Amino acid sequence: MRQRPRQGTRNRLKKATSRFSLSGAEFTTRLRWRLFVGVDLLGGSVLSLNRIQEDVTVATVSPAQTAVVLPVRGHDDLLDGCLKALRGQDVPPGEVILVDDSTSGDLIAPPGMTVLRSGGLGPYGARNLGWRASEAEIILFVDARSRPRPQWLTSTITAFENDEVALVGSDTRVIQGGSTLAERASVLQQFFALENYTTNAFFWPYFPTCNLAVRRAALEEVNGFPSVRSGGDAEFCWKVLQSRVGRFEGIEETLMDWIPRRNVGEFLEQNYRYGRSHVDLCGRWPQAAMAQPMSRRRIARRVISSSLKMALARSHDDRAAALRSLGHVAFNVGERIQMRKDPRPRHTAHEDDRSSGRSDRTS
């Protein structure tokens, strides 16, 4: 049975959707087949993905009532590609807000876009500054490595025609064709594939902020993102689901591409950081079970074997696969270090219960 938001919240969301309807009027229709995730909040479990068809109240969403929020810090070489993709949308968003999170605050506003200065609040603090500066009803979050495809905006906001939907995301694929070893390993790893956050999620489902759309009422309900370095997207989505302000919808179509890191050090650092944030997240959400990280002995064996495979590999694909394995090791190292720094009790499962490539999809 599907969980419904509180009645007062439902009325507020309906009122919100009617404000940005193209026709100004709501109408009832037979909803298309869509992918929904229901959350059993009492049992703390995720219900199976279902395809649901029923009569629901919907309202046409106007692109003019959308805002794209993009935090920027030290990615000037990537920013132009993201802005080009945003300008190439089939229908442009109502506004694009860049949040300069550098301490220098010297980002120049591109034509037709707004720049805010956050002074180094961090990525989630910068996102909070961005959405609060807008009056848009639908906020779409991306990052400098995001490359939305032309139909991304129209396809995403269509999901909000159902006034019960609060969170929307779609499949995101790491762009293929990179020339470096780290880029090829990222293609194998596919950090942001939709199934990693929905059907294969280690706890409740969520979307990464490189491709996350949110109804404004949901952001206001939970006071935006937490002030953390990594893992804030999961915690934010879980709070929205827990509050019952609205539900979660995943679009199976690939609507977003993502530019991977180019060098091995950055690739391993990304996995290491994800491991640390995973432990921190499970400490704040004790009902989320995390697998025991690898033992130090197993980490040493994996490092040696993967390094040898990289050195002896005869093809680029074999070397990339070995680096991907080292990424999994870096994730476990991050977990162990964070658990040593923060010894709070956590609900842990046996290491064998760890889903294959868990590090591949922690964000």
Low-confidence ranges of the chain (pLDDT < 70): 1-59, 344-363
Which amino acid, residue 306?
S
Sign, CA torsion 159/90/220/74? positive
pLDDT number for residue 362: 36
Number of other CB atoms surrounding residue 133 within 10 Å: 15
Cα–Cα distance, 72 to 187 (Å, whole number): 24
pLDDT number for residue 344: 67
* Per-residue pLDDT reduced to its tens digit, 170-194: 999 999 888 899 999 999 999 999 9
Residues 6 or more apart whose CB falls under 8 angstroms from that of 280 comprise 228, 231, 338, 342
Long-range contacts of residues 11-14, Cβ cutoff 8 Å, at least 24 apart = 12/217, 13/163, 13/164, 13/166, 13/215, 13/217, 13/245, 13/246, 14/57, 14/59, 14/163
pLDDT number for residue 285: 86
pLDDT number for residue 348: 55
Q: Residue 358 is encoded by which pair of tokens?
A: 């868990």
Cα–Cα distance, 306 to 303 (Å, whole number): 5
36 φ, ψ (degrees, to nearest 5): -120, 150
pLDDT number for residue 18: 35
Cα–Cα distance, 62 to 33 (Å, whole number): 21
Domains identified in the chain and CATH numbers: 63-258 (3.90.550.10), 264-361 (no CATH)
Q: Residue 37 is encoded by which pair of tokens?
A: 């995730």
pLDDT number for residue 36: 42
pLDDT number for residue 38: 44
Cα–Cα distance, 174 to 19 (Å, whole number): 36
Q: Which residue has the tokens 């030290």?
A: 74
Sign, CA torsion 188/194/198/201? positive
pLDDT number for residue 17: 36
* Per-residue pLDDT reduced to its tens digit, 259-275: 999 999 999 999 999 99
**Chain length of the chain:** 363
Residues 6 or more apart whose CB falls under 8 angstroms from that of 166 comprise 13, 214, 215, 217, 218, 240, 245, 246, 247, 248
- DSSP H helices in the chain: 7-19, 76-87, 123-132, 152-158, 181-189, 216-222, 232-243, 264-284, 296-312, 316-341
